[in-house]
């Protein structure tokens, strides 16, 4: 149907005469086209545009040749086709896609240029599949490692998330596919997500939880934003006056469409008045006996008509929504010059693999008694290698909720390792987790767990090296939408298995696939640990390349790994801070989230934010100098980076600002990330990185001023390679 509408519109454009409607002229001013189309629409056509007609489409105006809008779940691939009026898969045979790495992996690259390539490649797949809007990226802040949906987001730091989301959006939207940035806002847990009421300070809102959304809208130019399920200060986020009217559309000047999360609307009057533009839902369209509820019953359907006709809400509310929907339609579905797209191309696999290569984080690589490290594992030594772990063969694109994918090709970790080490590889499952399911999980008998562990341990005795591939998966209660994790430690008996393997074979490499930090009480018994995320279609290639050394790991953690769950800020303050009492939740950690909490409170993380090792070494040099800045002055700090090792590789320089507590009575973190730069160097090579230091880097949100203020005083500029490692420090005195 969509293609028929497009053909009609294109035919009309080709046959254009002096009487051709302005809205069909792609060369005309966008706003003029919007006003022209709006003036031609009937009341019923306008209201129809404001709510779904199927699970993933909203109506255009067939009479005017305006096509429907088609959406698909993201954010790391185009989801398989869903039926028109049910959540069952449609059973198509042409909807297999490239599975790109999950967004935690993208964030771990600390490479904005790769984020742009990622967005562009994903848009090309969406175009080929006929999609106008991809429901992603997600930029909710990583507050607790128990959040089942953290793998879809970009970590704990708003600056890092903002730097990565802007190029993603630009790469996607230049192809005529809209990014739908989600979930606006404070959807930082899945437990009770439909109704939990988040209470927090203005400072926490403005400094931690909104900046990445602001960057997405103002710098990225996002064409759509998805509301969150939860409440914020007593009002559902999908029609929240403060979030949508006052901040998003008011302060930030957002000209795009606010879309509900599916079923996220709860009140017609609030939806009409508080900025919701498009209501999507989980209900039938009334064409089957699935439910008596039809699309006419949506809050922004017949109930909205009733309020409009009675005069209880103004017609201007409807016109504003339709203007935004038309604007989105002209930018996407009716855009005449967009490409056809492509699916599962070599280019897309290349992008996916390069992101995977740069995402993997080397957490540990101890020097052994022999004076060498276990990693990289040279393929030429002919060692007998045992691969243990269900995640070595499991399809990790299944499950997880709305981000589930149907990849055309999958290179599993075992596949990738066999490609490199060939007949030297043996495999055993080691543990079992059950089938991926939504809303509940399968129970594995203890006898099965014990048997699998005993087999693995016996085989490990005969191996020269053991590579354990475990972590989490997309089961309910793991990294999965609709529910949070139930424990911080690794599930399915993995801790006991890892310790048993280490006891019989000290040459153990642990490779974790997850979107979350996990408890590692076994870490001291293991010489080498990799954090390998959910890497998508090309996972095995990248894991094999990093383990063998053909790729030098350069990933940096986008969130902290606490030693214990109680060391995390959200959990430190008890149940009301996380997960709440099922009705209300207080963000008692305020602005001290992630490394801000660990470093300010002196609670060391097992692996800190920004941390990641390499197979080579780097030296940073700068000339310390006291600098005075005033007003809107800026200064530059130049840092020389030298690869002092024997392998080519990348490192990420990170600049943090540490304010003097005497500058203001407001509590501030001891340091905050304000800039970063990833550099690639051959052995022995040196390059110079220039950081511009500007007054906005010193600012914090001042509730008394209702805005960001850079208070005068001393600021230390810390430059290093993680949130706890700073070989360079410079002091700046700032005067207003």
Measured CA to CA, the distance from residue 655 to residue 640 in angstroms comes to: 14
Count CA atoms within 13 Å of residue 229 on its CB side.
Answer: 15
Contacts of 570 by beta carbon, 8 Å cutoff, 6+ apart: 143, 144, 577, 578, 587, 589, 593
Strand, helix or coil at 185?
A: coil
Structural element, H or E, at residue 594: none
Structural element, H or E, at residue 116: helix 112-128
Measured CA to CA, the distance from residue 118 to residue 140 in angstroms comes to: 19
DSSP string, 267-293: -HHHHHHTT--BB--SS--SSSTT-S-
Measured CA to CA, the distance from residue 637 to residue 625 in angstroms comes to: 9
Residue 382, phi-psi category: left (phi > 0), alpha (psi -120 to 50), beta (remainder): left
Backbone dihedral angles phi then psi of residue 715, each to the nearest 5 degrees: -135, 130
Backbone dihedral angles phi then psi of residue 323, each to the nearest 5 degrees: -55, -45
Query: Count of CB atoms within 10 A of residue 267's CB?
Result: 16
Measured CA to CA, the distance from residue 449 to residue 431 in angstroms comes to: 6
Measured CA to CA, the distance from residue 610 to residue 724 in angstroms comes to: 9
Backbone dihedral angles phi then psi of residue 184, each to the nearest 5 degrees: -85, 105
**Which of 269, 266, 292, 270 has its CA nearest to residue 281?**
266
Which positions are annotated as active-site residues?
Answer: 261
Measured CA to CA, the distance from residue 180 to residue 73 in angstroms comes to: 10
Q: Please say whether the beta carbons of 128 and 340 come within 8 A.
A: yes
Q: Please say whether the beta carbons of 98 and 352 come within 8 A.
A: yes
């Amino acid at each position: 149907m969509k293609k028929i509408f497009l053909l009609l519109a294109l035919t009309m454009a080709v046959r254009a005469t002096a009487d051709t409607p302005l809205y069909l002229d792609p060369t005309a001013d966008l706003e003029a086209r919007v006003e022209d189309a709006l003036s031609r629409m009937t009341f019923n056509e306008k209201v129809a545009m404001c709510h779904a007609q199927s699970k993933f489409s909203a109506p255009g105006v067939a009479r005017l040749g305006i096509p429907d809008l088609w959406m698909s779940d993201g954010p790391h691939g185009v989801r398989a086709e869903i039926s028109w009026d049910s959540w069952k898969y449609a059973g198509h045979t042409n909807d297999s896609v490239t599975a790109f790495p999950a967004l935690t992996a993208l964030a771990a690259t600390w490479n904005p240029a790769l984020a742009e390539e990622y967005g562009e490649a994903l848009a090309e797949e969406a175009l080929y599949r006929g999609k106008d809007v991809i429901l992603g990226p997600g930029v909710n802040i990583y507050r607790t490692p128990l959040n089942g949906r953290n793998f879809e987001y970009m970590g704990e730091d708003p600056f890092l998330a903002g730097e990565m989301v802007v190029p993603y959006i630009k790469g996607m939207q230049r192809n005529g596919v809209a990014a739908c940035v989600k979930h606006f806002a404070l959807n930082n847990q899945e437990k009770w997500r439909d109704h939990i009421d988040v209470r927090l300070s203005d400072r926490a809102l403005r400094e931690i939880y909104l900046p990445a959304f602001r960057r997405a809208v103002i710098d990225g130019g996002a064409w759509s934003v998805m509301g969150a399920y939860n409440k914020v200060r007593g009002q559902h986020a999908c029609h929240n006056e403060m979030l949508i009217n006052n901040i998003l559309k008011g302060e930030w000047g957002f000209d795009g469409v606010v879309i509900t999360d599916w079923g996220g609307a709860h009140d017609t009057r609030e939806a009409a008045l508080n900025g919701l533009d498009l209501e999507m839902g989980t209900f039938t369209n009334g064409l089957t006996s699935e439910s008596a509820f039809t699309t006419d019953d949506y809050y922004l359907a017949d109930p909205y008509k009733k309020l409009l006709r009675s005069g209880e809400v103004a017609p201007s509310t409807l016109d504003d929504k339709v203007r935004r929907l038309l604007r989105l339609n002209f930018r996407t579905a009716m855009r005449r010059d967009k490409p056809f797209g492509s699916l599962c191309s070599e280019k897309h696999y290349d992008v996916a693999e390069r992101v995977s290569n740069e995402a993997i984080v080397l957490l540990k690589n101890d020097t052994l008694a022999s004076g060498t490290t276990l990693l990289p594992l040279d393929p030429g030594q002919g060692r007998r290698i045992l691969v243990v772990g269900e995640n070595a063969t499991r399809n990790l694109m299944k499950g997880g909720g709305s981000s589930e994918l149907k990849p055309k090709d999958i290179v599993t970790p075992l596949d990738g390792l066999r490609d490199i080490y060939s007949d030297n590889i043996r495999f055993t499952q080691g543990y079992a987790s059950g089938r991926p399911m939504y809303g509940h999980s399968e129970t594995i008998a203890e006898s099965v767990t014990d048997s699998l562990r005993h087999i693995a341990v016996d085989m490990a005795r005969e191996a020269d090296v053991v590579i354990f591939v475990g972590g989490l998966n997309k089961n309910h209660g793991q990294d999965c939408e609709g529910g949070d994790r139930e424990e911080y430690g690794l599930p399915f008996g993995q801790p006991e298995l890892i310790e048993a393997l280490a006891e019989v074979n000290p040459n153990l490499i642990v490779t974790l696939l997850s979107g979350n930090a996990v408890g590692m009480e076994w870490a001291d018994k293991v010489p080498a640990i990799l954090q390998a995320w959910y890497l998508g279609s090309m996972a095995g290639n990248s894991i094999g390349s990093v383990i063998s050394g053909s790729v030098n790991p350069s990933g940096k953690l986008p969130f902290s790994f606490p030693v214990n769950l109680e060391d995390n800020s959200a959990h430190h303050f008890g149940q009301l801070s996380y997960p709440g009492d099922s009705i209300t939740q207080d963000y008692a950690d305020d602005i001290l989230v992630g490394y801000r909490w660990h470093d300010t409170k002196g609670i060391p993380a097992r692996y800190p934010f920004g941390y990641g090792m390499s197979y080579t070494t780097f030296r940073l040099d700068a000339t310390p100098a006291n600098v005075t800045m005033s007003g809107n002055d800026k200064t530059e700090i130049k840092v020389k980076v030298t690869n002092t090792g024997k392998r080519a590789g990348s490192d990420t320089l990170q600049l943090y600002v540490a304010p003097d507590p005497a500058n203001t009575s407001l509590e501030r973190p001891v340091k905050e990330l304000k800039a970063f730069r990833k550099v690639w160097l051959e052995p022995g090579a040196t390059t110079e990185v220039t950081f511009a230091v500007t007054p906005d880097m010193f600012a914090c949100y001042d509730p008394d001023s209702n805005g960001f203020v850079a208070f005068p005083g001393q600021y230390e500029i810390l430059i290093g390679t993680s949130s706890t490692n700073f070989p360079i420090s410079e002091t700046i005195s700032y005067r207003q």
